[in-house]
Chains A and B, each alone.
Chain A
Amino acid sequence: EAGVAQSPRYKIIEKRQSVAFWCNPISGHATLYWYQQILGQGPKLLIQFQNNGVVDDSQLPKDRFSAERLKGVDSTLKIQPAKLEDSAVYLCASSTARWRETQYFGPGTRLLVL
């Protein structure tokens, strides 16, 4: 069974530029999550989708971050404009629709904002 795929793996941009990350969840997983992991900290949830609807985006900085999952499969997370403090690893995870189920993580995208 293929795992969660993410691209790119690494990205370096200058502040005020925009960037987008892509995630393809495990086949059949209805729930998709985006987490931000700042160096030395645990991951923090940014947004959760159930199929193509948003379940929880309370911790997403909506003035600069946006995410979509138009067809209920792949998802894109965008930052525009980026700030220095956005430097982090962005992790995508997926799970089956049932709550309490295990979330499986992709390898992450490491973003460096200069």
Chain B
Amino acid sequence: AQSVAQPEDQVNVAEGNPLTVKCTYSVSGNPYLFWYVQYPNRGLQFLLKYITGDNLVKGSYGFEAEFNKSQTSFHLKKPSALVSDSALYFCAVSLLSNNAGNMLTFGGGTRLMVKP
């Protein structure tokens, strides 16, 4: 069974400072990892994904994430936070299921609060 953990319910950061949102995963096989962001009353918006290759993945809105196989982590980062980055962030892992599906398993989410 695959699982995702986001150890922090909320992350607070000042505008202009770097931010990190943590994610660890557990799968039996090669993981495909995703980050999504959710604004109030909106669906999930895709930020970035790791499939294979370079461990540092760059995505939308200046976000990036680093895949670390030995630590089974896929932390989301941004060098300089904006107030508009305040939202709910979800990490997800995908494995080819027994039925050849593409099920995403999500973490519980981390609320990012960026203060001016």
Show the binding face of A for B, using Cβ within 8 Å: 4, 6, 31, 33, 40-45, 48, 55-56, 91, 93, 95, 99-108, 110
Question: Are A55 and B101 in touch, CB under 8 angstroms?
Answer: yes
Given A91-B43, A106-B43, do A101 and B106 touch, yes or no (CB 8 Å)? no
Name the distance in Å between A36's Cβ and chain B's nearest Cβ: 11
List the B side residues contacting A102 at CB < 8 Å: 34, 46, 49
Given A4-B43, A91-B43, A106-B43, do A43 and B101 touch, yes or no (CB 8 Å)? no
The complex places the Cα of A56 from the Cα of B43 at a distance, in Å, of 22
The complex places the Cα of A31 from the Cα of B102 at a distance, in Å, of 9
B residues 1-45 with Cβ under 8 Å of A? 4, 32, 34, 36, 41-45
In the complex, identify which listed stretch (B62-70, B76-84, B90-98) lies at the interface while the others stay far away.
Answer: B90-98
